[in-house]
């Protein structure tokens, strides 16, 4: 993680780290948010502050999205996030953290939500990038 961050430090330059939140029912079921773990570790590595409570997942999305194409994934997360603390976002560059990126739909929707609340720039850091393959 340290190597990935510092080899891309200019591209990832941000004021604050925000993990992608889980819906409260999923968090209760799972007991932890893996994006929080990524954000916490990245905060230690980068020296950036982490804000766990300025963004919420307001819409529960389908649990397993394997087999969905990019268009279906984008539709499933549309309107799924809300900014609880616009004052923490406005005028700042935000680094979104998540564990895995597949189509980029979640990161894109979070970025749009943060931009609507005044974020000047949104960057994304994930641990893994899953590759979608066409079936058939």
Q: What is the pLDDT of residue 131?
A: 67
121 SS3 class: strand
Q: What is the pLDDT of residue 96?
A: 96
The answer to whether residue 136 is domain-embedded is no
The answer to whether residue 102 is domain-embedded is yes
1 SS3 class: coil
- pLDDT tens, residue order, the chain (136 aa): 788 887 887 778 899 999 999 989 888 998 999 999 999 999 999 999 999 999 999 987 765 456 667 777 777 778 889 999 999 999 999 999 998 887 888 899 999 999 999 999 999 999 877 766 555 4
Domain total in the chain: 1
What domain range includes position 75? 2-129
Residue with token string 């976002």? 89
Query: Any idea what the CATH number is for the domain that residue 42 is in?
Result: 3.40.50.2020
The answer to whether residue 14 is domain-embedded is yes
The answer to whether residue 135 is domain-embedded is no
């Amino acid at each position: 993680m340290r190597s990935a961050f510092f080899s891309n430090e200019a591209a990832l330059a941000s004021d604050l780290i925000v993990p992608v939140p889980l819906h409260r029912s999923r968090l209760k079921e799972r007991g932890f948010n893996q994006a929080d773990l990524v954000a916490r570790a990245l905060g230690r590595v980068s020296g950036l502050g982490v804000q766990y409570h300025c963004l919420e997942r307001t819409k529960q999305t389908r649990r397993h999205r394997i087999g969905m194409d990019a268009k279906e994934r984008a539709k499933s997360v549309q309107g799924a996030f809300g900014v609880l603390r616009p004052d923490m976002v406005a005028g700042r560059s935000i680094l979104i953290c998540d564990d895995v990126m597949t189509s980029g739909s979640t990161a894109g929707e979070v970025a749009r939500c943060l931009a609507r609340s005044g974020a000047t720039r949104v960057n994304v850091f994930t641990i893994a990038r899953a590759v979608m393959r066409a079936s058939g």
